[in-house]
Structure 1
Amino acid sequence: MQVKHLEITENMTINEFIKQLDESGVLGAGRIAHATNLLADSIKDPDTQVFLSLAGPMIPGGLRKIVRDLVANKQVDLIISSGANLTHDLVEAFGGNHYKSTGEDDEVLQDSGMGRIADIYTHADDFEVFEEEIQKIFADINQEYKQLSIQEFIYEIGLRIDDDESFIKMAAENNIPIFAPGIIDCMIGLQLWIYTQDHDFILSAAGDMTYLSDCVFKSKHVTACMLGGGLPKHYTLASNILTGGIDAGIQITLDRSEGGSLSGAPLEEAKSWAKAKKGSNLVTVIGDATVLFPLIVAGALDKIKI
């Protein structure tokens, strides 16, 4: 079959563009179309649960509202996130911002109270507000609870946020669980450690496993949508070993496979561990998730409307 070359036409819709990628069927274009169609089918199917994992700087990188809207519209059913993405959601919930790079030297940035994530800046003043506000939330939670699982803890934080653009708040309001197995490795974890130096409060990582396993067992089918790799990707896949693996998966990554890391591993490798079922529908899209995921979501939602 011949490659059908792309044609950009005036006033074409996002769905028409994705259809052309699908008809071309080659290289990155074909993978983007595959991921778009798979996400659309998964969102539409009432028997399929969509597990979204967030690694890397997805929230400071511009995806905060997209994730928030997917949660608010109940188009994802469960989130597994790095602690950093939760932290950056809260930074904005407390009035802070993320800023575009101006190309300053990193030592100059340090002197001016700025931190850098690639070409994204954060300001120390915003983190000072974060520290003050999160300590207040810890204290309020601690009035009711002496011990919580990580998922329960994030849920309680979400109930206490006054920002409708926060995906943590939207998840709490819509009863969509957020798991963050690496939450100690972020500013939330550091502030929690500081809080627990003179307060009686325990955060249980093992406490999440019963609820997460229940979510897996109750799901007829699971589609995992994984942005980046690392711990969130592994936690997403490993949790589904309990039922023989995910039924479908979308991975968007810039990592390579040669080093043997999970972040760069092709999804097909997950079949050998029963983290993905035999015959599962899997697609790995190589590229920047902050660019590709909005395109895939836009195409999927446009397809659903038709």
Structure 2
Amino acid sequence: MHHNVFTNNPTVPIDVKDRSVSELMDGMLRIGFQGRKLAESVQAWNNMLREKDTTVLMGLSGAMVPAGMRRVISYLIRERMIDCLVSTGANLFHDSHEALGRKHYVGSHLANDEKLFEHGVDRIYDIFAVEKEFRTADNLIADFAEEIGEISCSSREFMYLLGKELVKRGAAEDSIVVSAYRHNVPIFVPALSDSSIGIGLTIARRRGLKLNIDQIKDVDEITQIVEKSGHTGVVYIGGGVPKNFIQQTEVVASILGMDVPGHEYAIQYTSDAPHWGGLSGCTFDEAVSWGKIAPQAKKVQVFVDATIALPIVAHALHEKVSGLKRNAPIFSWDGPKGLEIAYEE
């Protein structure tokens, strides 16, 4: 039988039997299409967590919290499967909303939106929420901002203070904002103004408060994380601003004269496609041309709805990484030279 370099690795059709989620993922490494990509993403993430002196940054976009993903993200934070979160403001607003005991509701994408509007109900595809409750949260953020007073701070500093406030109000650990506050995981929100948190801060501004969220300080702080980390890996849920905000750190650092290799692990779960030319769907190969991703990086792009991928991947990692004592980075932000990073021994 004629063998060549292309036919060394036969597929192994997946069989059905009693097994754990991580064993299923291992079995899917020898099948095709996005099933294999999903399994490869688990393998890459697992390997990344075992690398020495590596900082894992996650980009979170899309309405993941209304869709029920907040406990998965807070688990990844608590277990230090991620070390830094860059999110849309909306996800963190919705997380704070639930942290204060309010809910999102199972709805239908076939509902009559005019009727929903009459009943004060907002729709996010097949999830419902109560507009009046959102407005209560907007005002709560405005009141909280007034308590902080007139400061200029990065979104990371603001989210830390918000985490502290939510703890004071009795919020549970399953909140993204609270778990990040408790476990020293920085949260950056580069488009904070484009969310209900921005709305709350605008209400405070109209009342005369001069609180300034310094977006350029955000760029500086997250670039310092990349400059001062041994290695970096990235995980993107969707694309959007969080993805590019993490990607551009490599460019900023190199312009500032730092010798950075590009992110060395890169995983993305996205439902966007590359051929429209947008950043959310663009491949990691394209990012290599910008110096954002290292040419030899382990790159896995999974074209999938993140609400399917995240629960499966998190369960597989839960099984694979349980008991692993990872040497996660410890950030201290007020050192004489700005950020200092030490890795746990």
TM-score (norm 1): 0.95
Corresponding residue of 2:64: 58
Secondary structure in structure 1 of the residue aligned to 2:213: strand
Corresponding residue of 2:247: 237
Runs of 4+ residues over 6 Å off in structure 1: none
1:299 to 294, 299, 316: 316
Give the alignment of 1:37-116 within 5 angstroms.
37-102=43-108, 103-116=110-123
1:156 matches 2:166: no
- Residues 248-269 of structure 1: CA deviation (Å, up to 9, x unaligned): 1001000111110001101111
Q: How many aligned residue pairs are there? A: 302
Distance 2:85 2:24 in 1: 29
Q: CA deviation at 1:301?
A: 2.5
1:6 matches 2:14: yes
Secondary structure in structure 2 of the residue aligned to 1:207: helix
Q: Is the Cα–Cα contact under 8 Å of residues 57 and 83 in structure 2 kept in the other structure?
A: yes
- Residues 112-166 of structure 1: CA deviation (Å, up to 9, x unaligned): 1111111111111321321232122212211xx5211111111111111031221
Q: Is the Cα–Cα contact under 8 Å of residues 95 and 126 in structure 1 kept in the other structure?
A: no
Alignment RMSD, CA only? Answer: 1.4
Q: CA deviation at 1:284?
A: 0.5
Q: CA deviation at 1:2?
A: 2.6
Q: Which amino acid aligns with 2:290?
A: W
Give the alignment of 1:183-198 within 5 angstroms.
183-197=192-206, 198=208
1:28 to 34, 43, 46: 34
Secondary structure in structure 2 of the residue aligned to 1:280: strand
Q: Which amino acid aligns with 2:131?
A: A
Q: CA deviation at 1:23?
A: 2.7
Secondary structure in structure 2 of the residue aligned to 1:264: coil
Corresponding residue of 2:228: 218
Deviates more, 1:203-212 or 1:52-61: 203-212
Distance 1:119 1:128 in 2: 21
Corresponding residue of 1:129: 136
Q: Is the Cα–Cα contact under 8 Å of residues 61 and 88 in structure 2 kept in the other structure?
A: yes
Structure 2 segments unaligned to the other structure (5+ residues): 1-8, 254-259, 324-345
- Structure with the higher helix share, 1 or 2: 1
Q: Is the Cα–Cα contact under 8 Å of residues 143 and 204 in structure 2 kept in the other structure?
A: no
1:179 to 168, 173, 188: 188
Distance 2:22 2:178 in 1: 31
Q: Which amino acid aligns with 2:152?
A: Q
Q: CA deviation at 1:292?
A: 0.5
Q: Is the Cα–Cα contact under 8 Å of residues 139 and 203 in structure 2 kept in the other structure?
A: no
1:201 matches 2:211: yes
Q: CA deviation at 1:210?
A: 2.5
Distance 1:300 1:131 in 2: 35
Corresponding residue of 2:339: none
Query: What is the identity percentage for the equivalent residue pairs of Structure 1 and Structure 2?
Result: 28
1:228 to 218, 238, 245: 238
Distance 1:300 1:94 in 2: 29
Distance 1:96 1:46 in 2: 40
TM-score (norm 2): 0.84
